[in-house]
Amino acid sequence: MECYCQLEGVVDLLSRKYAMQVVCAVGLLGPVRYGELEDAFGEVSSSTLSARLEDLTDAGLLVRERYDEIPPRVEYELTDEGEALREHLDPLLRWAESRDLE
């Protein structure tokens, strides 16, 4: 019970590709458009990125704001819960980054 083995839910969500990076990226880039995220990631597949955005939105960690314009405009932002998650995630990714650079 004290070993986190039984964890599901959010952790499963974060265990999908790019999930952790998306949370931190949306947090740092503020209200951000789909294309900006795609550019930031560089080599992500659009289908996977949009699946991840949908997952995180459904989980209540992101809000998706769609403007009725042509060409379309959509902006993603963290909810309060998403921001809470990002604060826990940030030290982890920061550590991972410094480790990978060695």
Partner DNA sequence: GTTCGTTACTTCGGACTCGACAGTACAAGT
Partner DNA sequence: ACTTGTACTGTCGAGTCCGAAGTAACGAAC
Binding site for its own copies (CB under 8 A): 2-12, 14-21, 24-25, 28-29, 37, 40-42, 44, 81, 84-85, 88-89, 91-93, 95-97, 99-100
Binding site partner of 102, from its own copies, DNA, none, Cβ cut-off 5-8 A by kind: none
CA 72 to chain centre: 21
Instruction: Kindly indicate which of the ranges 3-11, 22-30, 40-48, 85-93 contains the residues binding DNA, using the contact rule CB under 7 A.
Output: 40-48
Binding site partner of 54, from its own copies, DNA, none, Cβ cut-off 5-8 A by kind: DNA
As beta bridge partners, residue 62 has: 78
DSSP annotation of 87: H
**Residues 40, 25 contacting (CB under 8 angstroms):** yes
DSSP annotation of 69: -
